[in-house]
Amino acid sequence: QSALTQPASVSGSPGQSITISCTGTSSDVAVYNSVSWYQHHPGKAPKLMIYDVSERPSGVSNRFSGSKSGNTASLTISGLQADDEAHYYCTSYTSRSTLVFGGGTKLTVL
Amino acid sequence: QLQLQESGSGLVKPSQTLSLTCAVSGGSISSGGYSYNWIRQPPGKGLEWIGYFHHSGNTYYNPSLKSRVTIFLDRSKNHFSLKLSSVTAADTAAYYCARGSEIVGYGLDVWGQGTTVTVSS
């Protein structure tokens, strides 16, 4: 299975909004509403930010939102804050009952 | 609150078998509705899903690693384990264990802090 495709990097200024895309195939993102997003600060455990395309776990800020269109899912972070600077990864359930990660996107807050 | 903690050999020789354990505290590994996953991150690279043990008793593995991977539960010790055989330098990585919960779809809602494994002679 091939990794989902994410941009290597995105950036934005504090207070702005950014969107990270996650492109899959007809075996994963396109056919399952089982896309999740993780925030990963270096040296720490990844943190679940979004599941089932657009659902937020308890405790996650509503500045984080998710959506999907066709084979591309997206994570939007509004009102950027310095602490949002991290790597972000998408995952999807697949037709093989496996999970597949995206390559990861480094978010820089300018 | 559920917590996970990885442990195991930090240095493995090429061609040998990597063995890691994830201790589960604050909850029972026998509770239904969960999957127990392993994920890794090679130095300077992204996260890679290795596989999971589903509460149904089935296991599912990354096709690229399937021939070398085994994930299993030890309910008596409340932990789950990863074995990766015939390792090479490409298996050098930080290894994470994580719990999947049906409450969050196929999301992984609890993670360990990770443990570094180096493959070197």
Give the residue from B47, B99, B102 with the most A CB atoms within 10 Å of its CB, the best one to mutate. B47
- Among B30, B29, B21, B45, smallest CA distance to B96 is for B21
Q: Which of the four pLDDT bands, split at 50, 70 and 90, describes residue A1? A: confident
Distance CA A39, CA A52 (A): 16
Distance CA A30, CA A76 (A): 19
Q: Which of the four pLDDT bands, split at 50, 70 and 90, describes residue A16? A: very high
Question: Over 90: is that where the pLDDT of B102 sits?
Answer: no
Chain B residues close to A48, C-beta within 8 Å: 104, 107-109
Mean pLDDT of A79-90: 98
Distance CA B57, CA B114 (A): 24
Give the residue from B4, B108, B113, B115 with the most A CB atoms within 10 Å of its CB, the best one to mutate. B108
Whether A101 sits inside 8 A of B47 (CB atoms) is yes
Q: Nearest CA of chain A to the CA of B23: how many Å? A: 15
- What pLDDT sits at residue A58? 94
Chain A residues close to B48, C-beta within 8 Å: 101
Q: What pairing do the DSSP bridges indicate for beta strands B69-74 and B79-84?
A: antiparallel
Q: Mind listing the pLDDT tens digit for each residue in B42-66?
A: 999 999 999 999 988 899 999 999 9
Whether B109 sits inside 8 A of A48 (CB atoms) is yes
Is the CB of residue B46 less than 8 Å away from at least one CB of chain A? yes
Among candidates B48, B106, B112 on the partner chain, residue whose Cβ is nearest the Cβ of A93: B106
Whether A51 sits inside 8 A of B46 (CB atoms) is no
Mean pLDDT of A90-97: 96
Helix (H) or strand (E) holding A51: none
- What pLDDT sits at residue B103? 87
Chain B residues close to A93, C-beta within 8 Å: 105-106
Distance CA B32, CA B61 (A): 20
Whether B108 sits inside 8 A of A3 (CB atoms) is no
Mean pLDDT of B78-87: 97
Distance CA B33, CA B71 (A): 17
